[in-house]
Amino acid sequence: MPASIKWLKVIIVVVLAHYTGSPAFCEAPYPETPEELVQAFCTAYSQGAGLSSDTAESAYKYTTWLDTPGWDRAQIIRKYELTRERSPSSHAQVKVRFQIVGYLESGEKHWQLNLVSSEEDVMFTTRKIGGQWRITKPLIPPHISAATAIRFLESEVPSLPKNELAKRQMQIQSLREVTSRE
């Protein structure tokens, strides 16, 4: 069979699968438990959801929040751990312990990095609404992974004035060093 026909078949399969809703091309299924819900929310946040209105929906779809606030600060996390606290049939609480290694704060023109070492416990309250679990509170600023923070800081490099380039490179290197320690 000629190569062009093989490629045509591949293209047809991909297009059909996309328009028929094949699971290989669909979004992950909606979380079924409070823990899965909070895990999905934290994963989206750690990947940068919430840093802009363009990405906020990937995290806020798990909440009851009607508006997505603009944040001028984001926590940088090394890792997080979930534990379920209480779980009646219609609502549950899931505790998340974040290991904070720093935070980004919006500056006059660019984000500023501040390194810290702390832990933060957040108690998420979830409720079953219309058959789906949703986070009802608290409304927290983004908690992004160190890798996401580094990509974000690096993306600003081309727009930085020359006198700030060395400082930014040192900040990125410091963040890499802090997060490589266990």
Residues contacting 99, CB < 8 A, separation 6+: 77, 78, 79, 80, 119
The answer to the question of residue 3 being in a domain is no
**Structural domains of the chain, count:** 1
- Residue 128 has which token pair? 């079953």
pLDDT string in tens for the chain (182-residue length): 555 554 444 455 444 444 444 444 456 799 999 999 999 999 999 998 888 777 778 888 999 987 766 778 899 999 999 987 766 678 899 999 999 999 998 877 778 889 999 999 999 999 999 999 999 999 898 999 999 999 989 988 888 888 888 888 998 998 998 878 75
Range of the domain at 151: 30-180
The answer to the question of residue 9 being in a domain is no
The neighbouring-strand residues paired with 22 are none
The answer to the question of residue 18 being in a domain is no
- What CATH number should be reported for the domain holding residue 125? 3.10.450.540
Q: pTM for the whole thing?
A: 0.78
The answer to the question of residue 108 being in a domain is yes
